Amino acid sequence: MAMTSSSSSRRTRLARPRRALRVEASREEELMSKLMSMIGVGGDGIVSAAEALPGRAEAMRTPEAHYVLRPNRMTAPWPEGHEVAVIASGCFWGSEKGAWRIPGVYSTAVGYVGGHTKNPTYEEACSGRTGHTEGVQIVFDPNVVSYADILALFWTSHDPTQGMRQGNDRGTQYRSGIYCTTDAQLKMALDSKEAYERALKASGRGSITTEIKGPGDVFYYAEAYHQQYLAKPNARPYCSAQPTGVQMPEDWLTANGAKFGPGFRAEYGPRPGCTIGFPNAPVSLEEALAAN
């Protein structure tokens, strides 16, 4: 899923004078800007609705049961009282694994969100012509895990200052985003952004570029191949998320009803290297409470 240059190309670039590299980069940016304009991509890099691919009426076929949390369902209806959150933090393989491990999460799924094309394919989303980003749908029991806990996972599991990329993955389909399903979620998401941005800037980092949208965006399921990908046999252990190491402020978490404390986050929370080194099995509630 990542786009990388060959080692020979890197050596060639390193051998060039810095001024030549700056000129070349400027030309590349100019050419890319012209190309994006030609295909209908706006100034923020996201294709316009008028120029987006049309998509299709047929939804993607989705497995009935979650590969890790089986026999839990992959699609609605959900158990009574459960809520739905949708986040985007780079490559959805690693993002989903981080989510399904949280106690109180009933189900997760990867898909495409924030764009215009109906029921897009992976290839279409990667083309930049759908407007979507790779997202994760999280169905959770708010009596066990709060939306504040979900937001803490989101902010600390990637670098939300990187714009239209995350680590080695570049393109609008890797942008950071929170796609709220209720007005209450929107209010908390915006407030969490302010709190986390203050923490980031105190550590010397830049401004958050995360897209935060209110209710109304459709989450389109991705192909079955991508669902719970990292838990499947022969999966390629890839994740390019770039956690900053900056923690969500504890006072904000306490004020917003977080169920899990700093001990849980220290033991089971995101760390450099993303989710590759973590087991596939979810953290049990007993383990979480013991860590608290």
Q: Tell me, yes or no, if 274 is annotated catalytic.
A: no
CATH superfamily, domain 64-291, is: Peptide methionine sulphoxide reductase MsrA (3.30.1060.10)
What global pTM score does this model have? 0.85
Average pLDDT over residues 205-231: 98
**Separation CA 63–CA 52 (nearest Å):** 28
Amino acid at 156: T
Cβ-contact 221, 109 below 8 angstroms: yes
Tell me: pLDDT of 89 over 90.
yes
Average pLDDT over residues 113-131: 98
- pLDDT tens for each residue of 125-154: 999 999 999 999 999 999 999 999 999 999
**Active-site entry in 91, 126, 180, 274:** 91
C-alpha torsion 197→140→137→188, nearest 10:
-30
* Strand 220-221 relative to strand 133-140, pairing: unpaired
